Structure 1
Amino acid sequence: MRERIRQIMENENLTPAKFADRLQINRANISHILNGRNNPSLDVVTKILSGMPYINTEWLINGTGQMYKDGFDMDSIPKEHDLFHQGPPATLQEKETVVKPEGIDVNKPEKNIQVIENKIIDAQKNNDKKIRQIIIYYNDSTFETFVPQPVK
């Protein structure tokens, strides 16, 4: 059953955390199931089947039959997007539903130009702060202190 749960998550682009959150299952429970530490409890199976009513019960429990119930269109599942599976770009109709504020052309970004000056900072001018001591701590709980000698 562990591999079938993994297959559901893969088909819907769900990470273990998102899968657990979606079904309101403790994330650690899903992690333990996927790592083989625990078998899925009746509560976990029930939450999967009630949260994803299109999953075939026989397939989830016994591994027989198809993953999805007969007549279910796999493309109708709302899949989570991630960086690697972004899906097709928005259509022109979807782009036109954007609310456009009056007087602002959203297709033409405003140009905010900021002039950046390169400045050379003279280290001699900034004499406010001087190093008083340097302490180095070692992982064996010892330390060394260095005090700089005054420059003449």
Structure 2
Amino acid sequence: MKDRILELMKSQHMTQQTFANFLGIAPATLSSIFNGRTRPTLNIVEAVKSKLPGVSTDWLMFGTGPMYQDEKNSSSNENSTGETSPLEPVLDFGLSPATPSVVDGQKNSPKEIVKIIDRPQRKITEIRIFFDDQTWESFLPKK
């Protein structure tokens, strides 16, 4: 399955980083799949299907049939419209989801700050400074 994901990425003319961002997954996840450290999960398949709905699930998961579902039904249409027409809308989809993911990342930042604020206040109990002559000084706060 990793070979088919790689083939799909190459057919979209994307780098590993670009393809991961396009799918909305971490680039490290995609790298782990390509290096064989992890196997593709259902989340990866769902991400591919949501961003590239024309990709055949049977081809992606099992390697059977054509890469795109439309290849069986629209082979006569491809001759009249050209083979690049299925790719053009896919590339357009790649540009629009990138903007909401950046906005979503900015929206999540205040939630993380709220979690930090909810932590109990920490207090300094001691500060030690170590010198290069193998000595140190300890400082304790006044209570």
Q: What range is the shorter-chain TM-score in?
A: 0.5 to 0.7
Map 1:16-55 onto structure 2 (within 5 A). Answer: 16-55=16-55
CA drift of 1:21 comes to: 0.4
Higher Rg: 1
SS at match of 1:75: coil
2:7 equivalent in structure 1: 7
Report how many residues are paired: 80
CA drift of 1:40 comes to: 0.6
AA matched with 1:68: Y
CA drift of 1:32 comes to: 0.4
Measured against aligned partners, the alpha-carbon deviations of 1:41-86 in whole angstroms (never above 9, x if no partner) come to: 1101100011100101100011000001122755121377xxxxxx
AA matched with 1:63: G
**Larger proportion of helix:** 2
2:106 equivalent in structure 1: none
Map 1:118-129 onto structure 2 (within 5 A). Answer: none
Map 1:125-144 onto structure 2 (within 5 A). Answer: none
* CA distance, structure 2, for counterparts of residue 20 and residue 47 of structure 1: 10
TM-score w.r.t. the length of structure 1 is: 0.49
AA matched with 1:23: L
2:84 is the counterpart of 1:75: yes
> Runs in 1 of length 4+ with deviation above 6 angstroms?
none
SS at match of 1:40: coil
* CA distance, structure 2, for counterparts of residue 14 and residue 33 of structure 1: 16
2:66 is the counterpart of 1:66: yes
The percent of aligned pairs where both chains have the same amino acid is: 38
Map 1:137-152 onto structure 2 (within 5 A). Answer: none
Measured against aligned partners, the alpha-carbon deviations of 1:97-140 in whole angstroms (never above 9, x if no partner) come to: xxxxxxxxxxxxxxxxxxxxxxxxxxxxxxxxxxxxxxxxxxxx
TM-score w.r.t. the length of structure 2 is: 0.52
